[in-house]
Structure 1
Amino acid sequence: MRNKHLTPKQLLIKTLFWGLIIWICGTILLPIFAVTMYSLADETTYPRSGGDMVIPPHWGQEGNLLHHFKMVWILEDLPVYLARSLVLALGTVILSITLSAPAAYAFVRFRFPFRKILLLSFFVFMMMPDIVFGVSLFSMFYKWGLINTIIGVIMVHTLRAIPLTLLILNGVFESIPPTLEEAAFTMGTSRLRTLRKVILPLSAPGVAAASIYAFLLSWDDFVLTVLVGGPESYNLAVLASRFMIGTDVQHYRASATAVIMLVPVLFVNFFVQRYMKSDYLTGGMARDF
């Protein structure tokens, strides 16, 4: 029979490990729990002034559990912000992957001067604060007439997303053997078609990871959207911030907006999850020729 007794050292390591797991889960889940409670609570009774209340004593308001969601949906034109946020996020995904994939492929398969320096420069862009990045682009976008436009916000989100999406795809493309491309070339396939029909299908997990990053960056971006956007191009993150600014702070409507923002994020992660499986590493090449 297996000895289940642990030495003091093993017990300490196990305790620290599970303590760290619980701490990480609590750090992640506590804000979600808080905004959910605020979004469903009666604002006249929750929270108590002493702050000793965790679960609301009364749910909803005016007999409606979803009162705060209803107020945000009707009074704040939330459907417009929701649709706009989806357009911005999906546009950022499409544009960033479209630009990053050929660039990453070129970095992997071609050797040219200053290649490593150029790759390193993308890390510099990633370290640049959003406020510095946005201010440096503002005057240029203003001259081009892209301020307060959907296209302008998509472009600035894409420029922010490209450094990491390119580095993700660069690592994925490097793991694909060049012999697969050589086999496609012998069949008369062009390099661009090889990228589209061979490399990208084999890189589905990496493309999915890069797409999730680009989507989330655009979906919850606040600083760049405020700097480059305007009333006609603001997303849900800007709407949520409006409830927390000024003397009339509306925690409940801000929380309802935050919960609504979580739903598409969970859906995207659930949908793209299947492309992260290893089955997609080997499929989809032969049928495309």
Structure 2
Amino acid sequence: MMIPYGQRITPDDRTTTSRGLMRPRPGGRALRVAVATVLALWFALPLVPLLLWAVANRWSFPAPLPTAWGVDGLVTALEQGAAPAFGRSLLLGLAVAAIATPLGALAARALTRGIVPAPRLVSALLLAPLALPAFVAVMGLTVLLLRARVPATLAVLLLLVAAALPYTVYTMRVAYAAHDLAYEEEARTLGASRLAVLVRVHLPLVAPGLARAAFLAFLVGWSDYVVTVLVGGGSLVTLPLLVGSYAAGVGNEAIVAVLSLGAIVPPLVLLLALGRFGRRYPTARFTGPTPSRSPKGSP
């Protein structure tokens, strides 16, 4: 019996046949669907007020629904530069992911293979941004960047890459801990070049880990507020800065709702794409009982 490619088998939804093979329980899939539906509703409930505020021109207490419907919040948000801010945040998140992901992968590979001197010290330095308060770390590094005359946009990018490295390094260390070098060694034995092994063997095997690391790095750049406002000094206006500025005022609920919904879209799209991408890699295959090994000395 063979489980379809890509199907996940868990202990709660499989039974054992008379031949010792594993097969899914009939109610296991229904249970997973029910749990997923409940979780989706749980996370979607906080978005309901945002959706209502986004299409409300007026919502007076104690009315349960908006008293005047419209898109004034969307129009005002666009007039105040929501579209350019959205584009800057998107580019910033993509740039952080493009730099932090390969750096984290290289560091994680070196640490996993034990080719780094003082690996514990190096790991502590890479994870240090998580231990320090964001405000303290930013203020200390800002002084150095200002004295080095680094442009504000580049300084923001460098600091966000440093903030994203702990996430990419940790994610890739988990991926490399389960990575089997035998595949690469076998490819080299068969005559493949280093580039061919990297492109056709190594990268496909660690692709799910790279995707997860890139997603986390993107979130760091996309949702940042502290680094952008302190280091950027207002020269780099991103979507989180607009949300914070309007949320600090009174009567801007519709604008804040529109901006907040816009901030949810890219991470949600990437999360769905990441889940879809992960299904391409099977987590278990059951093709039958494991053949017994021959005793020593037998042919």
Q: What is the one-letter code of the residue matched to 1:209?
A: R
Instruction: List per-residue Cα deviations over 1:123-180 (Å, max 9, x = no partner).
Output: 332122211121111111212333532x222211111001111110111012111111
Query: What is the deviation of 1:200?
Result: 2.2
For the residue of structure 2 that corresponds to 1:171, the secondary structure is: helix
Distance 2:117 2:103 in 1: 21
Instruction: List per-residue Cα deviations over 1:175-199 (Å, max 9, x = no partner).
Output: 1111112123332533x76445422
Greater gyration radius: 2
- 1:97-246 equivalences in 2 (<5 Å): 97-149=101-153, 151-186=154-189, 187-190=191-194, 194-246=197-249
Q: Partner of 2:97 in structure 1?
A: 93
8 Å contact from structure 1 (residues 126, 164) kept in 2:
no
Per chain length, whose mean CA-contact separation is higher, i.e. which structure has more relative contact order (CA < 8 Å, sep 6+)?
Answer: 2
For the residue of structure 1 that corresponds to 2:117, the secondary structure is: coil
More deviation, 88-97/210-219? 210-219
Q: Partner of 2:10 in structure 1?
A: none
Query: What is the deviation of 1:256?
Result: 1.1
Moved over 4 A (4+): 21-26
8 Å contact from structure 2 (residues 129, 162) kept in 1:
no
Unaligned 5+ runs, structure 1: 1-17, 61-65, 283-289
Q: Partner of 2:74 in structure 1?
A: 69
Q: What is the one-letter code of the residue matched to 1:264?
A: P
Distance 2:46 2:187 in 1: 50
Query: What is the deviation of 1:253?
Result: 0.9
Q: Partner of 2:17 in structure 1?
A: none
Query: What is the deviation of 1:103?
Result: 1.4
**Which structure dedicates a bigger proportion of its chain to helix?**
1
- Cα gap change, 1:47 to 1:264, in 2 (>3 Å): farther
Unaligned 5+ runs, structure 2: 1-33, 285-299
Count, aligned residues? 248
Are 1:39 and 2:54 matched, yes or no? yes
TM-score for the superposition, normalised by structure 2: 0.74
More deviation, 91-100/200-209? 200-209
Distance 1:258 1:53 in 2: 23
8 Å contact from structure 1 (residues 205, 277) kept in 2:
no
Instruction: List per-residue Cα deviations over 1:31-75 (Å, max 9, x = no partner).
Output: 3222222211122xx141xxx444323321xxxxx22111111x2
User: Which of residues 257, 263, 266 is equivalent to 1:264?
Assistant: 266
Query: What is the deviation of 1:22?
Result: 6.7
Distance 1:23 1:272 in 2: 18
Q: CA RMSD in A?
A: 2.7
